[in-house]
């Protein structure tokens, strides 16, 4: 074999990020390769929630909105996420969910390009990103969606129709199903050269590596995947400073009003990034997210990326070596530059294979029709975990454990 388990243990001992694992709660005997779906809880999350409930909520009651800074959480938390995605202060706001963030970004982009009636959307986009745009188009009337397949056909989509008709393009930096990563600078330049606005979905980027959002017009993303903010943690929206006061989004809620406590009968947008908030922030969810951001403040993102590519490359090498005879096909790019922090393999019986693997302590997930997904959160996944996961996968395939009847039935959440 290319590498032994002992070599992996040695890599872990030399890993500059090794101590971060102790800051997370991870069940004994589980290799958790689903941090790209729901990040593991920071140990500090529980105390942070208790502190907000007992000190701030019980201690100050409604006074917490001022005294505990609840009202400003969307902006103060946004400023903490900003460095992780290459943004500056006052450029990111946190709240709602990614689906809602899609509506905010796309509706704001459309207002900046009056006369252009086309939204370019990727068939590979996460379904909710597509559904929300479809709903928006239905509600607004007069707009049209032009589908592309990744960046294939993007130039054609941008140049087609009656000349300059594309208002904005919505793509995910990392494809949730394949793990492939776009060259965002190149794609953004192409889109903007056509006079359209670029919106990036960073759900599978933020916390996986240093994102460079700066050239984009808008970006959105969630905080419960690699950022470990907890189930249902709020989403973020980045708006380039040149657009912030030049447009409005569809969801004109009172927290985005210029004077929310003037209780005026008519909407007037706040100046700056605040206008991209909608309504009352989920204060308890922010508490857990901020406990995680306390960790992120201490992470060197260049070191994180180096470990991430080492983990994903090792997993590809080991699986290809150990599982060669069993019909797995690598879905993710072999070029580390062109992937996020996840590796996917296709297998015709992917669903029962994943169920059998989970039963043996290796947690990945399955995405229809045939994709086995493995996410590698570099803060808490070790090289030895990668080794053990590959060996267990080979065992499941070799011994055909996955053929057992109990693995065939689909559960609601895959």
Ligand X SMILES: *Cc1c(COP(=O)(O)O)cnc(C)c1O
User: What is residue 39's DSSP assignment?
Assistant: P
C-alpha count within 13 angstroms, C-beta hemisphere, residue 241: 7
Q: Determine if 341 is a binding residue for ligand X (CB under 6 A).
A: no
Q: Determine if 382 is a binding residue for ligand X (CB under 6 A).
A: no
Instruction: Figure out which of the listed residues 128, 151, 245, 313 binds ligand X, where binding follows CB under 6 A.
Output: 128
Least distance to ligand X, CB of residue 299, Å: 21
Is 407 an active-site residue?
Answer: no
Bridge partners (DSSP) of residue 148 are: 122
Least distance to ligand X, CB of residue 105, Å: 12
Q: Determine if 366 is a binding residue for ligand X (CB under 6 A).
A: no
What 3-state class would DSSP assign to 343?
strand
CB atoms within 10 A of CB 183: 13
Cis amide linkage into residue 158, ω under 30° from 0? no
Q: Determine if 98 is a binding residue for ligand X (CB under 6 A).
A: yes
Closest CA to 70 of 249, 234, 180, 264: 234
Which residues are CB-contacts of 208 (< 8 A; sequence separation ≥ 6)?
36, 174, 226, 308, 340, 341, 342
Least distance to ligand X, CB of residue 172, Å: 5
Nearer to ligand X, 200 or 387 (CB): 200
Q: Determine if 248 is a binding residue for ligand X (CB under 6 A).
A: no
Binding pattern for the stretch 174-203 against ligand X, x by CB under 6 A and - elsewhere:
--x------------------------x-x
User: Is 77 assigned to a binding site?
Assistant: no
Nearer to ligand X, 234 or 352 (CB): 234
Could you give the CA distance from residue 92 to residue 75 in angstroms, rounded to a whole number?
A: 7
Is 164 an active-site residue?
Answer: no
Least distance to ligand X, CB of residue 18, Å: 28
Instruction: Figure out which of the listed residues 23, 129, 165, 248 binds ligand X, where binding follows CB under 6 A.
Output: 129
Cα separations (Å) of 344 from 204, 243, 303, 334, 398? 14, 37, 23, 11, 19
Nearer to ligand X, 204 or 401 (CB): 204
Is 335 an active-site residue?
Answer: no
Least distance to ligand X, CB of residue 136, Å: 14
User: Is 224 assigned to a binding site?
Assistant: yes
Least distance to ligand X, CB of residue 235, Å: 6
Total number of residues binding ligand X (CB under 6 A)? 13
Q: Determine if 205 is a binding residue for ligand X (CB under 6 A).
A: no
Task: Let me know: does 245 contact 108? Beta carbons within 8 Å.
Answer: no
Nearer to ligand X, 17 or 235 (CB): 235
Cα separations (Å) of 123 from 97, 133, 189, 307? 21, 12, 21, 31
Nearer to ligand X, 98 or 292 (CB): 98
Task: Let me know: does 291 contact 44? Beta carbons within 8 Å.
Answer: yes
Instruction: Figure out which of the listed residues 116, 204, 255, 257 binds ligand X, where binding follows CB under 6 A.
Output: 204
User: Is 2 assigned to a binding site?
Assistant: no
Could you give the CA distance from residue 349 to residue 296 in angstroms, rounded to a whole number?
A: 38
**Residue among 24, 32, 71, 126 flagged as catalytic:** 126
User: Is 128 assigned to a binding site?
Assistant: yes
User: Is 201 assigned to a binding site?
Assistant: yes
- Give all strands of the β-sheet with 166-172 in edge-to-edge order: 92-95, 235-239, 218-221, 197-201, 166-172, 118-122, 144-148
Task: Let me know: does 104 contact 247? Beta carbons within 8 Å.
Answer: no
Least distance to ligand X, CB of residue 12, Å: 29
**Residue among 80, 113, 130, 225 flagged as catalytic:** 225
Work out the burial of residue 284: count CB atoms within 10 Å of its CB; fewer than 13 is exposed, 13-18 middle, 19 or more buried.
Answer: middle
Nearer to ligand X, 276 or 407 (CB): 276
Is 267 an active-site residue?
Answer: no
Work out the burial of residue 35: count CB atoms within 10 Å of its CB; fewer than 13 is exposed, 13-18 middle, 19 or more buried.
Answer: buried
What 3-state class would DSSP assign to 193?
helix
Is 226 an active-site residue?
Answer: no
User: Is 50 assigned to a binding site?
Assistant: no
Instruction: Figure out which of the listed residues 40, 154, 219, 222 binds ligand X, where binding follows CB under 6 A.
Output: 222
Contact residues toward ligand X (CB under 6 A) are 97-99, 126, 128-129, 172, 176, 201, 203-204, 222, 235
**Which residues define the annotated binding site?**
98-99, 126-129, 201, 204, 224, 254, 280
Query: Any idea which residues carry the catalytic annotation?
Result: 126, 201, 224-225, 373
Residue numbering of the annotated binding site for pyridoxal 5'-phosphate? 98-99, 126-129, 201, 204, 224, 254, 280
């Amino acid at each position: 074999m290319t590498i032994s388990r002992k070599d992996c243990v040695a890599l872990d001992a030399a890993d500059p990020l090794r101590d971060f694992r102790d800051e997370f709660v991870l069940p004994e005997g589980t290799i958790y390769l689903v941090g790209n779906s729901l990040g593991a809880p920071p140990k500090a999350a529980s105390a942070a929630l208790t502190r907000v409930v007992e000190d701030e909520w019980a201690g100050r009651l409604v006074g917490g909105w001022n005294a505990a800074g609840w009202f400003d959480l969307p902006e103060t938390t946004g400023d903490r996420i900003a460095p992780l995605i290459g943004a500056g202060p006052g450029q990111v706001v946190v709240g709602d969910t990614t689906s809602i963030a899609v509506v905010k970004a796309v509706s704001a982009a459309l207002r900046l390009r009056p006369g252009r009636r086309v939204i370019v959307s990727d068939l590979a986009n996460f379904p909710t990103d597509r559904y929300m745009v479809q709903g928006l188009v239905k509600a607004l009337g007069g707009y049209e969606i032009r589908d592309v397949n990744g960046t294939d056909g993007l130039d054609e989509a941008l140049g087609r129709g009656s000349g300059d008709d594309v208002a904005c393009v919505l793509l995910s930096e990392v494809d949730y199903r394949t793990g492939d990563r776009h060259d965002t600078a190149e794609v953004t330049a192409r889109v903007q050269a056509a006079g359209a606005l670029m919106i990036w979905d960073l759900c599978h980027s933020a916390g996986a590596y240093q994102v460079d959002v700066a050239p984009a017009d808008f970006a959105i993303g969630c905080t419960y995947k690699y950022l470990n903010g907890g189930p249902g943690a709020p989403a973020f929206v980045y708006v380039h400073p040149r657009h912030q006061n030049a447009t409005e989004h569809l969801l004109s809620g009172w927290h985005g009003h210029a004077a929310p406590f003037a209780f005026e009968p008519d909407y007037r947008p706040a100046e700056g990034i605040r206008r991209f908030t909608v309504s009352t922030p989920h204060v308890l969810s922010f508490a857990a997210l901020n406990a995680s951001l306390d960790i992120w403040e201490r992470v060197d993102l260049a070191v994180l990326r180096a470990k991430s590519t080492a983990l994903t490359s090792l997993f590809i090498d080991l699986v290809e070596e150990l599982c060669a005879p069993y019909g797995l096909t690598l879905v993710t790019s072999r070029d580390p530059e062109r992937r996020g922090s996840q590796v996917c393999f296709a297998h015709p019986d992917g669903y029962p294979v994943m169920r059998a693997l989970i039963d043996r302590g290796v947690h990945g997930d399955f995405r229809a029709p045939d994709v086995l997904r493995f996410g590698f959160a570099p803060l808490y996944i070790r090289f030895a975990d990668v080794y053990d996961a590959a060996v267990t996968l080979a065992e499941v395939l070799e011994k055909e454990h996955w053929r057992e009847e109990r693995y065939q039935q689909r559960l609601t959440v895959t």
